[in-house]
A and B are shown apart, each in its own frame.
Chain A
Amino acid sequence: MTGFARRFNAIFGADMAGPLTALTAVLVIMGLASPHFLTAATFGSVAFQLPELGVLTLAMLVPILTGGLNLAITFTANIAGLTLAWTLQTHGGADAGPGAFLIGSCLALIVGALSGLVMGLVIAFTRAHPILVSLSMMIFLRGLGEFLTRGGDISGFPAFIAPIGHGSVLGIPVPLLILVACVIASHVLLSRTRLGFSTYMIGSNIESARYSGINTRKVLVLVYMLSGIMAAVAGIIMLARFNSVRVGHGESYLLITVLACFLGGINPFGGFGRVLPVFVALVVLQLLSSGLNLLGANQHLTTAVWGILLIIVMVMRWASSTFTGKTK
């Protein structure tokens, strides 16, 4: 290992190398390709678009660290958004006060936690595969949402909600502030708390964690509840950004969040991975999207490029482990 690599790893951690390289590559390539790329406008749009996907990715991240997956996050976000929307509507719709918003948000978070609680209980006590449990929860929540809304939109919210989606404080977009708060909270939770520690231990070997006195069931339930709460936060942001709630909003984010986690160096089998590289990976994805947009590409081409990026990163990981002789 060269001196530079060692210093880099000491400061940022070895898992930062990939995302930071990708970030540099995107900035350089896009900057060269489009004169409008390295401008405040680009970063402004990234700052507003990043949060929904970002918070949803955090909701996906923690279950993956335990070796699971939560496929229900997008519809949990929708249902949580619906909860808030109804609370506002029953309190006067566009005339609802901040109190109603607070109550509604709390209810939304509780609904998110409930969805996680059910999944967590099933996964922890029956050892059913998380993909299946969350998949069926997803199908259920989608159905529930469509049943309740009859496939329509719910809109008509008080004006003071808009800034949560579009406003800025000291020049920093409010949604970005929420995301940063969630990132910091997740980072502290995972790296500094007993729950976070247990999450990693469970992810790499649940039985050895149990033999060491970790309450594996409790941790799994909490992890999925946390995931549900995080999804609910995303639901609230989406409500504010679109000024409406529709079941299916953000559905296409689902697999993108998984992609962002893998891009950020999260081990697909669980046990390893940190929040910060994932955050950088998210920025890369969003910058790529904005840059391609400037070049005239649409969101769909961006999606394809994201997929290609994931494959490039995985192939590079394969190559580096093959050619440095490490067996993993």
Chain B
Amino acid sequence: MSIATDTGASARPILSLRGISMTFGGVRALKNVSFEVMPGEVHCLAGENGSGKSTLIKVVSGVYTPAPGAEIVFDGETLTRMTPVMAQEKGIQIIWQDLALFPEMSVAENIAFQSLSGPRMRLVDYSAIRRIARNALSRLGVMLDVERPLKDFAIAQRQIVAIARALVGEARVVFMDEPTASLTQSETDHLLAIVRTLSASGVAVVLVSHRLAEVLAISSRITVLRDGALVGVYPVAGMTQSGITELMTGRSFDERVRAREVTKNPVVLSVAHLSRPREFEDISFDLRRGETLGVTGLLGAGRTELALTLFGMRKPSAGSITLEGRPVRFSSNRDAIAAGIAYLSEDRLSLGLNQPQSIADNLVMASLDRILKRGLIASDRKRSLVARWIADLGIRIGLQEDAISTLSGGNQQRVAIAKWLATDPKVLILDAPTVGVDVGARAGIFEIVARLAEAGLAIIRISDEVPEVYLNADRIIHMKKGRIAGWHDPRATTLKALEAAVYA
């Protein structure tokens, strides 16, 4: 399966880092990490969120300067320091997760931006720029109208533009930060084909990802980071998905399946033939009191779109939603919240929580009614409501007035859950609840969710991390391209079988 496996001991690494440490405000983001890439190799840099992957890339690209004692060797040459300009000159190219492109500028300018940068003012040679852009695109076997502004193109095409840009500067090593994060399956396949092409032409590619299935197939080696430290470097051959997850999380997956028998409980939410054009089609399920329904599938499967529709933020084109026996039709998420549906967003940073605002304000944001006294916010009610949830969910905070952004990912997520519990919901939709939550803090969130289910809350749990759903849900819906591809019972299947079905 894997290519470029002939990285024998005789070959010299194109890039090698040793003793890399980084500290931010007392927190050690990288602890004495080493990293090595062979020419033409496809290398996977794996680790959970917060494991130090992104920090390592920023060190490689010269954005951050590591603590003294670090050694960076590029193509046999030991470098005392690295700057963004040097990195580009050496042929170290980074494709950032946010792509760092310029949407209003043309595709050609984005690709050939190198020839627009530099301190000296020059006239722009647009025909040269178009030529450079077309050449770079043709190396990838892609045709795009290079004169159109980038904003006209979809994410997948923008990603290709970012790759093309990396190729312009005579790339020797290309880092791709979470390249598949916002791609659909077929787009991912195309991207991986491009990576193969690059590798075959001698360019080393480092895929930085926490989604493994897609990248494992083409990587030859994998470097695993955990909590800022190097776990190890392993050949991919013979590695399993769960084996790597175990290395990344430091947790073995012999945990018990939590699934319980809930079929005797009354149905809370009933969805029948729900559809939205180009998002999902003919979705039907019943959700019972105390049940945890897992929803998994690859990106673009329509999971979040379905959740937003149940939450009243999108209108279904067909089908019905029935809540406790009564058909409901939401004109906004306010109706949904009032009816007892809560939705924990997958994007905690920009949608789930209001980062600059205080812990207290975030917590009461969805349940202001409960702290009003004669129409005014009663600060004593607010304090006690917040204090109760802080204690109930074991959230560690300084002051209630501190900005939510001062909390760790895990504590932030607990506040986000508390915000919705404060609305007294009947159905809680958790969309990727462990994204950006440290490994250690996840178990705590799993416990909270399990306790809620035990207390009778109906939970829809969406995640693209199959083990998470497998271990924590009572039943699992597998969505694929907007449709239900299958139902699974964790007690009647194995994690391997489920993963195989999802990643098929």
**Chain A interfacial positions (CB closer than 8 Å to B):** 188, 191-194, 197, 200-201, 204-205, 207-215, 271-272
Contacts and interface: CB of A to CB of B under 8 A. Distances in A.
Contact of A201 (B313, B343, B354, B375): B354
A192 B356 contact: no
A157 B202 CA distance: 87
Contacts, number: 62
28 contacts: A194-B372, A194-B377, A197-B365, A200-B357, A201-B357, A201-B361, A204-B355, A204-B356, A205-B350, A205-B354, A205-B357, A207-B350, A207-B351, A208-B352, A210-B333, A211-B313, A211-B343, A211-B345, A211-B352, A212-B419, A213-B333, A213-B334, A213-B365, A213-B366, A214-B365, A215-B332, A215-B334, A271-B356
B230 interface: no
A214 B356 CA distance: 17
A193 B361 contact: no
B56 to A, nearest CB: 21
A193 B376 contact: yes
B460 interface: no
Contacts of B337: 213
A246 B350 CA distance: 46
A180 B354 CA distance: 32
A210 B312 CA distance: 12
A70 to B, nearest CB: 22
Given A205-B355, A215-B332, A272-B356, 8 more contacts: A204-B357, A205-B356, A208-B351, A208-B355, A210-B333, A212-B365, A212-B419, A271-B357
Contacts of A201: 354, 357, 361, 365
Interface string B310-352: 0001000000000000000000111001000001010000111
B368 interface: yes
B376 A192 contact: yes
Interface of B: 313, 332-334, 337, 343, 345, 350-357, 361, 365-366, 368, 372, 375-377, 419, 423
Nearest 9 interchain pairs by C-beta: A192-B376, A212-B365, A213-B337, A208-B354, A204-B356, A212-B366, A205-B354, A213-B334, A211-B351
Contacts of B365: 197, 201, 209, 212-214
B361 A197 contact: yes
A214 B354 CA distance: 12
Nearest to B343: A211
* Residue of B337, B350, B354, B366 with most partner-chain A CB within 10 A: B354
Nearest to B336: A213
Contacts of A212: 354, 365-366, 419
Contact of B361 (A188, A192, A200, A215): A200
A197 B368 contact: yes
A191 B358 CA distance: 14
Contacts of B333: 210-211, 213
Contact of A193 (B352, B357, B375): B375
Looking at B333, B343, B356, the one whose CB has the most chain A CB atoms below 10 A away is: B356
Contacts of B351: 207-208, 211
Contacts of A207: 350-351
A141 B11 CA distance: 75
Contacts of B354: 201, 204-205, 208-209, 212
Q: Which of the listed residues A193, A197, A200, A271 has the most CB atoms from chain B within 10 Å of its own CB?
A: A197
Contacts of A272: 356
Contacts of B332: 215
Contact of B353 (A192, A200, A208, A210): A208
Contacts of B350: 205, 207-208
A74 B251 CA distance: 64
Contacts of A204: 354-357
Nearest to B335: A213
Contacts of A188: 376
B368 A194 contact: yes
Contacts of A191: 377
Contacts of A193: 375-377
Contacts of B419: 212
Most A C-beta atoms less than 10 A away, residue of B333, B337, B419: B333
Nearest to B382: A197
A202 to B, nearest CB: 9
A209 B351 CA distance: 8
Contacts of A213: 333-334, 337, 365-366, 423
Nearest to A14: B401
A235 B355 CA distance: 38
Nearest to A205: B354
Nearest to A194: B368
A211 B355 CA distance: 13
A42 to B, nearest CB: 37
A197 B377 contact: yes
A191 B377 CA distance: 8
Contacts of A210: 333
Contacts of B334: 213, 215
Contacts of B352: 208, 211
Nearest to B420: A212
Contacts of B343: 211
A209 B364 CA distance: 12
Contacts of A209: 354, 365
B499 to A, nearest CB: 31
Interface centre among A201, A205, A211, A213 (most CB of B within 10 A): A213
A47 B373 CA distance: 35
Most B Cβ at <10 Å: residue of A191, A214, A215, A272: A214
Q: Which of A201, A205, A209, A271 counts the most chain B CB atoms within 10 A?
A: A205
Contacts of B355: 204-205, 208
A205 B368 CA distance: 17
Contacts of A197: 361, 365, 368, 377
Nearest to A270: B356
A180 B1 CA distance: 76
A272 B354 CA distance: 12
B366 to A, nearest CB: 5
A193 B375 CA distance: 7
Contacts of B375: 193
Contacts of B366: 212-213
A214 B369 CA distance: 12
Contacts of B313: 211
A215 B365 CA distance: 12
Contacts of B372: 194
A196 to B, nearest CB: 8
A311 to B, nearest CB: 25
A214 B419 CA distance: 13
B13 to A, nearest CB: 35
The interface centre, meaning the residue of A192, A201, A204, A212 with most chain B CB atoms within 10 A of its CB, is A212
A211 B419 CA distance: 12
A149 B368 CA distance: 47
A191 B334 CA distance: 22
A80 B343 CA distance: 45
B108 to A, nearest CB: 29
A272 B358 CA distance: 11
A191 B356 CA distance: 17
A257 B129 CA distance: 48
A317 B162 CA distance: 38
